[in-house]
Chains A and B, each alone.
Chain A
């Protein structure tokens, strides 16, 4: 569980990026909070810089759009989903619960570089 920011600092329509490995983007979509992996699965743009409209975020580089609820792209050029993470608010602080697969992937990548 990673503390992100105060809920007051993340008004509707805004997003923040946290520097985890890989980085995660947290969005306030009209009052609902969502967290996804920040890096677009198409190339390397940061989705926290994207265009938020309802539950969709449009990538700032080539306009692939992702559904924040599922992480799935709703149009090309992205073809793979981004991972989604659970978000909770405790005492006015936004927390991200990093999905287990992410940890696994990071671990295996580290093994890869060590080998």
Chain B
């Protein structure tokens, strides 16, 4: 393989470039990214970056020294707009083409929008530019902020806005946010954090539309209520960036379909991170985006699936001064019990808690709020396939 092209210059794209070099690829390495920025980290955007606790310098994923070592051609600020049927040519938005022997698709996902998103004061939060714009607007005095969507990004953004002193309401269409991720009992506990942070949570009603002519003035709910707003943040999920692959032969269905080794139907094309549907599931987590590239690159260089990935899903979230960590694969039929710490009046106690999800006497997943050490132990045991109960006895 003489040339490998990584499309997408963010977390998983950078990790893929690193892996290529670490695994001995010494050919031409091209990295294409449509954002003008060098790879930066997204999780802080809704947290310390938004509140101003940390600046742009803390977002960089790489430094000049590493950039030199990677010896890649960075084509930044240019979009890939197509991949030929054999996966041997990447077409760029500015008309150029890159002939290549291997392709790593790392184009991530984009924030889902609502009709009305073009009004001033309406934001999504996915990119550095999004975060810069929102941060600037939040700095201009106390505002009425409505966050649409109570998922992790919505909750973190609401928490950051409340921390800055704004008047915040979160609207969630489901009866309770985060139920698919955490199950109803623990979702209720995490929803309690909004109350603790002084944020109103409106659930069980969707959004009918946004009000305003030039700038947004309010959010109209499906039940007829109107929430006045100066700033609206739309946090209703992300859509994998597969549009540019429309003319290729790759199978696309809520992501680029890959086998368990991140390999597509073309052995010289692999996919990683938020855009990749690996072995039937697509993860939108930082840890998957950093773990998949090792295996994807190994398989790309081998020319076939020599190794598969099945890491234990893991994500964290910081809201209202609480750190939530979750690992494992839970089913709705699992039972959940608090193994350490506790919950009072529907919110985590001062010292947080550790909860275990169980099925047939086995632990399937673990959730913690502000209990990093026991969480870590439980996560490692889950990763080894040992049940937490067994480990505690031994």
Measured CB to CB, the residues of A under 8 A from B are 43-46, 49-51, 58, 60-62, 76-77, 79
Contacts and interface: CB of A to CB of B under 8 A. Distances in A.
B58 to A, nearest CB: 8
Contacts of B376: 49-51, 58, 60
Nearest to A51: B376
Nearest to B65: A79
A45 B286 CA distance: 16
Contacts of B44: 43
Contacts, number: 29
Interface residues of B, number: 17
Chain B facing A: main interface SS: helix
B63 A49 contact: no
Contacts of B316: 61
A26 to B, nearest CB: 15
B373 A49 contact: yes
A51 B380 contact: yes
Contacts of B287: 62
27 contacts: A43-B44, A43-B48, A45-B372, A46-B372, A49-B372, A49-B373, A49-B376, A50-B373, A50-B376, A51-B376, A51-B380, A58-B376, A60-B372, A60-B373, A60-B375, A60-B376, A61-B316, A61-B323, A61-B325, A61-B372, A62-B286, A62-B287, A76-B18, A76-B290, A77-B61, A77-B290, A79-B63
A76 B48 CA distance: 20
Given A50-B376, A61-B316, 11 more contacts: A43-B44, A43-B48, A44-B48, A49-B372, A50-B373, A51-B376, A51-B380, A58-B376, A60-B373, A61-B323, A61-B325
Contacts of B61: 77
A61 B377 CA distance: 12
Interface in B249-292: 286-287, 290
Interface in B359-386: 372-373, 375-377, 380
Interface string B57-89: 000010100000000000000000000000000
Interface in B285-342: 286-287, 290, 316, 323, 325
Contacts of A51: 376-377, 380
A92 B284 CA distance: 50
A76 B66 CA distance: 12
